[in-house]
Amino acid sequence: MELGILSLSDLQANPRTGRPFDAGQRIDEIIGYAVLADRLGLDAFGLGEHHGLEFAVSSPAVVLSAIAARTSAIRLASAVTVLSVLDPVRVYQDFATVDLISHGRAEIIAGRSAFTEPFELFGADLSDYDALFTEKLDLLLRLRDQPRVTWSGRFRPPLKDAPISPRAYQPRLPVWAG
């Protein structure tokens, strides 16, 4: 059995003032939780991606990199990366970088989003909900498995023998569907 913590990065209210903490304070708190979880021997720390004003983290890879630099054993995952609206090349590169910083502790949990805001924000058509995820997950898995990629699809420009770097520390960066 594995035990871990998942943070959605919601901006909780300060019990003294009743007002939400600002995003910087919340991110500091999240990093502190992950460091403590690592010290206590928990197995995993997951961080959600959100693009609304009620949340502090829009890029889990950035915050997970800060956590990676301060921890030594805990697995670090997105929970989830909203792959449907993001470029899979950038997602792979960002998490390969987290994996290098953490010496092989990164994982991607790729998802579609339970919220509609990311689709409008990034110009993705909600009517393509399933097709976007399917196509982008296929590309992400190719990027993970091949150091050079030739690929074409509907939702991003084609790749022709594109070198994909950096490469992850792990021989096969874990990618989960969430």
Tens of each residue's pLDDT in the chain, 178 residues: 899 999 999 998 888 998 888 999 999 999 999 999 999 999 999 999 999 989 999 999 999 999 999 999 999 999 999 999 999 999 999 999 999 999 999 999 999 988 889 999 999 999 999 999 999 999 999 999 999 999 999 999 999 999 999 999 999 999 999 9
Strand partners, 176: 109
Q: Superfamily for 4-177?
A: Luciferase-like domain (3.20.20.30)
User: Taking the domains of the chain in order of start, what are their residue ranges?
Assistant: 4-177
DSSP 166: S
How far, in Å, CA of 18 to CA of 16, rounded? Answer: 6
How far, in Å, CA of 44 to CA of 77, rounded? Answer: 7
Model pTM score = 0.94
